[in-house]
Amino acid sequence: MKVSVVGTGYVGLVSGVCLAEKGHQVTCVDIDQSKVDKINQGIPPIYEEGLEELLKKNIQSNVKATTDLRSAVMDSEISLIAVG
């Protein structure tokens, strides 16, 4: 399933990476370009045990990050909003 996750904090990024680990195509959205760049390099901008390994495992196939909210939402079957 194509999923967009809006927000790349603790809830959004962890949820997105876990969904990717289960085989879903996940697009993470954030307004912070530096966070998006880190995620696309396989470097999580937050610390959660095991997150870096799962992100690196899935970044080539199931996870990508963008600042383009409209495109991410329009291209997904479901969207999760995880912003505070």
pLDDT digits over 31-71, tens only?
999 999 999 999 999 999 999 999 999 999 999 999 999 99
List of E strands, the chain? 2-6, 25-29, 63-66, 78-81
Q: Say which CATH number the domain at 32 has.
A: 3.40.50.720
DSSP per-residue letters across 68-82: -HHHHHHT-SEEEE-
Name the token pair of 80.
Answer: 């999760």
Q: Which residue type, as a one-letter code, is found at position 57?
A: K
40: domain range? Answer: 2-81
pLDDT (tens digit per residue) in 10-34: 999 999 999 999 999 999 999 999 9
Rounded CA gap, 18 and 22, in Å? 6
- Put simply, whether the predicted model's pTM sits higher than 0.75 gets the answer yes
- The domain tally of the chain equals 1
